[in-house]
Amino acid sequence: MLTRKQYELLVYIDKHLKQTGFSPSFEEMKDALLLKSKSGIHRLISALEERGYLGRRHHRARALEVLRLPDNMEQRPVVAPVAANGESPPAFSPHVIQGDFSARLPGVRTATDSPAVQLPLYGRIAAGLPIEALRDSGTMVDVPMALLGGGEHYALEVAGDSMIEAGILDGDTVLIRKGEVAETGQIIVALVDDNEVTLKRLRRRGNSVALEPCNARLKPQIFSADRVKVQGKLVGLLRKY
């Protein structure tokens, strides 16, 4: 028998996994359940693990997995949490960009009679190679159309653990929308000195650009703005288990 909060958290994690492919962060779970601290989330997760509802892949970030759901999940309503002011918070609703696929996207082959498109798959992103050098023109990857918007896209295989705290793991396939403009805080593919390509979070600091890893063990790299060119920004992620 689950408590109301345990049930709400399990449902939230299950929906997040189905919608994004990875588990929510502790901060997202805390906000979704209107808790004041992450310690409450830790206790709820531990209780769900003990009861066999959740599992955790150790040594990997954001790697919760739902092992089973309550038998009465379909019939049991989730009681909406109430904020301190007595009002119900807005319901969780993922932001999905709906693309117009009535016409072929530039650089994309549409899979016939399929709810997916095929994107060119570039190789494993690694230092020392310009982005075009990574392209394997003979390899394509099927991508759900709902993950893409307008514009030209490509897929890229991730190597290493520099972005694990953003839920991007070694071996994942990231979906990139080509472009030369990005806002600070976005995860981008950056070309440094016309030679080295990397996937990092962009931070602008005056006339400097910081490329930040999402891994507490690694330090950001800071360059003058003229040394960094944006090659595209992250719009989605695919993962195989």
Q: Please tell me the distance from the alpha carbon of residue 122 to that of residue 228, in angstroms, as a whole number.
A: 20
Q: Is 46 a catalytic residue?
A: no
Local structure of residue 185 (DSSP, 8 states): T
- Which residues are 212's β-sheet partners? 201
Q: Please tell me the distance from the alpha carbon of residue 7 to that of residue 43, in angstroms, as a whole number.
A: 13
Q: Is 162 a catalytic residue?
A: yes
Q: Please tell me the distance from the alpha carbon of residue 208 to that of residue 151, in angstroms, as a whole number.
A: 28
Q: How many CB atoms lie within 10 A of CB 141?
A: 18
Q: Please tell me the distance from the alpha carbon of residue 140 to that of residue 117, in angstroms, as a whole number.
A: 10
Set 5, 30, 200, 229: catalytic member: 200
Set 5, 23, 30, 162: catalytic member: 162
Q: Where are the beta strands (DSSP E) in 2-149?
A: 54-56, 64-66, 109-110, 116-124, 135-144
Beta carbons of 92 and 23 less than 8 angstroms apart: no
By annotation, the residues acting in catalysis are 162, 200
